[in-house]
Structure 1
Amino acid sequence: MPEGHTLHRLATHFDKTFGGGAVRATSPQGRFSDGAARIDGRVLVESEAHGKHLFLGFDSGEWLRVHLGLYGAWTFGDVDGERHLGAPRAPGAERLELERDPDGFVVAPTPVGAVRARLINTGGWADLRGPSACEVITTDDKHAVQNRLGPDPLRSDADPDRAWRVISRSRTTIAALLMRQDVIAGVGNIYRAESLFRAGIDPLTPGRELGRERWEILWEDLSGLLRDGVRDGYIITTRPEDRPDPDAHPVPRPDTLYVCYRTGDPCRVCSSPIASSELAGRTLYWCPGCQP
C-alpha cells in the first residue's frame, strides 16, 4: 500500500499537470460512471493529500476522493509516454505524437485493464486502477473524512500533540499505534518499522510507556523521512554512514532500508539478526540488538 509521501507527490503532480484547466472524466470500467459525470468538464482548482487519501477539488465545489488501498495505482500519459508516478520511463521508450480533438483535449489510447477513472486534459491523461475508494463528495464530506484522520506529518496543519494525547494514554504497542490512521495519517508498514529502528524503540513498547521526549524525537524523524520520500520518490531510511556506498543516494538499492524485508539478515549497525513477526495482520520488523 502506498504510504503518505506517495499521495503528496500525487497531489503535487495533479496540481502541475491538471491544475487550472478543465478535465474530462470517464469511467472505462463503468463502476465510477455517475461520479465521473459529476466532474466531467469541470476545472481542477486544488489538489490535496491527507495521509493516504488524495482529494482533487473542482470548481463545482465537489471533490474526488481516492484511497489507493493495497492494489490501487495511477498511471499518467503524455508526450513522454505512459508511466506510473515516480517510475522512470522504460529505456528506449519513444515520445508519443499526441492527437487532440477539436476542443484541444488529448485523444488518449484505448484503456488497458480495469480503469476505474480516466481524467483527460489538453496535455495528457491519468488512469486510476484498483482503488479501495473512488468517489465524488462534498466539502462537508471531505472535512468529515479528515476529522477522522490523525495528523499528517507532511501537512502544515499537523498537530503532533493530538497524536500524543492518544498514544500517551494507550496500552497498545507503539508499533500498532503508528499504523492507525486515526492516530497518525500516512504512516505505513515501512515507515513504521524504520522510524522505530532509527529511534531505538522496542516496537512492543506500550504507548503510555513511551515518554514525551522519545515521542517528540520519533515524530520529528518520521516527518523528516516522509519529506525525504516526497523529494526523492523513494523510501530511503538508512543514514549515509550505514551504506556501503553513501554517494549512490538516492537510487534505490538493497541498502536503503534498515530492517524491512531483512528477516534473519545482520543488522547494518550491530550485526544482530533482524527479527520479524505478525502484528495486526502486517509483518513487523525490528532489530533485537538496537531496539532492546
Structure 2
Amino acid sequence: MPEGHTLYRLARDLQQTFAGRPVHVTSPQGRFAAGAALLDGRVLREAFSYGKHLFADFGGDALHVHLGLYGTFTGGSGDPPPAKGALRMRWVADGPDGGGAWADLRGPTVCEVLAAPEVAAILARLGPDPLRPRADGGVAHRRIAGSRTAIGALLMDQSVLAGVGNVYRAELLFRHGISPFRPGRGVDAASWRAMWADLVTLMRAGVRMGRIVTTRPEHRSRRRGVVQREDAHYVYRRTGLPCRICGTEIHTEVMVGRNLYWCPVCQAA
C-alpha cells in the first residue's frame, strides 16, 4: 500500500498540473459516473494529501481518494491514451503550459465526492501526519503512551499516526532499537521525540527521492551514488538475511494483517 510520502508527491503533482483551471472529469469504467458528472468542468482549487488520503477541492465539493493496496494514479502531457481496462476516473485539462494534461485513476479502495463537513470528519479521526506543516507528534504519543497495544500495531493505526505503513513501521523501530512487541505505554516521551523527528526526516527524504531509503551510508555496500534496492532497508523484506548491524537473522511474522520484520537482537524485547 502506498505510504504517506507517495500520496504527498501525487497531490503535489496534481496541484502543479491542474490547479486553477477547469478539469474535464469522466469515468470510462462507469463506476464513478455520478461523481464525475458533479466535478466535470469545475476548477480545481487545491489538491492535498493527509496520511494515505488524497483530496481535491473543487469548491464546495471535494474528491476523496484512498488508493488502498491496488490503486494507481498516473498521468502525463499531451493527449491521453485510449481508455482501456478498469479506468475508474480520468482528468483532462489544458495543463500549466497550455498543452494537454491528463491523469488516470485505477483500482482505488475509495473514490467519492464529499462535502466539506465530510472531509473535516475524515481529517478529525486521523492522527498527525509527519509531512504536514506544524504537525504535533505529541498528539500521537499521548495515544501511544496510554495503550497496552504493541507499538508495532499502533504505528499502523491511522488514528494514531497518519501516513505510516509497513515499511516505515519496520524501519523506524529498527533504527531506534525498539521491539515491535513493546507495549505503547513502554515508549517514553524522550524515545518518541527522537522517533518522531527521525520519521519526519525519513518521510521528507521519501518525498524528495520518490522511494523509501532508511539505511545510513556506512551500512550499505556502496557509500556513494544511487542507493541500490538491496541496500535501501535494514529489515523490511529481509527475512532470513543477516542483520546489517549484528549479523543475526532477520525475523518476520504477521502483525495487524501485514508482515512485520525485525532483528531479535538489535530490537530485544
Q: Which amino acid aligns with 2:88?
A: R
Deviations 1:28-51 (A, max 9, x none): 000000100111001111111100
Q: In the aligned structure 2, how far is the partner of 1:231 from the partner of 1:284?
A: 26
SS in 2 for 1:44: coil
Matched, 1:275 2:251: yes
Q: In the aligned structure 2, how far is the partner of 1:211 from the partner of 1:158?
A: 19
| Distance apart, 1:61 and its partner CA | 1.9
1:18 corresponding residue in structure 2: 18
| Distance apart, 1:280 and its partner CA | 1.4
2:64 corresponding residue in structure 1: 65
Q: In the aligned structure 2, how far is the partner of 1:17 from the partner of 1:252?
A: 31
Q: In the aligned structure 1, how far is the partner of 2:117 from the partner of 2:244?
A: 48
245, 250, 253: which one aligns with 2:229:
253
SS in 1 for 2:89: strand
Gaps of 5+ in 2: 95-99
Describe the shift of the 1:44–1:252 C-alpha distance in structure 2 as closer, same or farther (beyond 3 A): farther
**Could you state the TM-score of these two structures normalised by the residue count of structure 2?**
0.95
Q: In the aligned structure 2, how far is the partner of 1:138 from the partner of 1:226?
A: 30
Matched, 1:140 2:140: no
Q: Which amino acid aligns with 1:110?
A: P
1:265 corresponding residue in structure 2: 241
2:97 corresponding residue in structure 1: none
Matched, 1:118 2:90: yes
Deviations 1:134-188 (A, max 9, x none): 0111111111000010000000141111111110010000000000000000000
Q: In the aligned structure 1, how far is the partner of 2:134 from the partner of 2:224?
A: 34
74, 81, 88: which one aligns with 1:109:
81
SS in 2 for 1:247: coil
Q: In the aligned structure 2, how far is the partner of 1:110 from the partner of 1:30?
A: 15
SS in 1 for 2:155: helix
| Distance apart, 1:75 and its partner CA | 1.4
* Matched-pair contact (CA < 8 Å) for 1:119–1:126: yes
Q: In the aligned structure 2, how far is the partner of 1:163 from the partner of 1:31?
A: 36
Output the aligned Cα RMSD.
Answer: 1.0
* Matched-pair contact (CA < 8 Å) for 1:236–1:252: no
Q: In the aligned structure 2, how far is the partner of 1:131 from the partner of 1:75?
A: 12
1:185 corresponding residue in structure 2: 162
Q: In the aligned structure 1, how far is the partner of 2:88 from the partner of 2:134?
A: 31
Q: Which amino acid aligns with 1:9?
A: R
Q: In the aligned structure 2, how far is the partner of 1:145 from the partner of 1:169?
A: 23
Describe the shift of the 1:112–1:252 C-alpha distance in structure 2 as closer, same or farther (beyond 3 A): farther
Describe the shift of the 1:72–1:252 C-alpha distance in structure 2 as closer, same or farther (beyond 3 A): farther
188, 199, 207: which one aligns with 1:222:
199
| Distance apart, 1:77 and its partner CA | 2.2
% identical aligned pairs: 55
Matched, 1:289 2:265: yes
SS in 2 for 1:268: coil
Deviations 1:61-88 (A, max 9, x none): 211000000000011121xxxxxxxxxx
- Aligned ranges for residues 237-252 of structure 1 at < 5 Å? 237-249=214-226, 251-252=227-228
| Distance apart, 1:252 and its partner CA | 4.5
Aligned length: 263
Q: In the aligned structure 2, how far is the partner of 1:191 from the partner of 1:112?
A: 34
Matched, 1:211 2:188: yes
* Matched-pair contact (CA < 8 Å) for 1:266–1:272: yes
Runs of 4+ in 1 over 2 A off after TM superposition: none
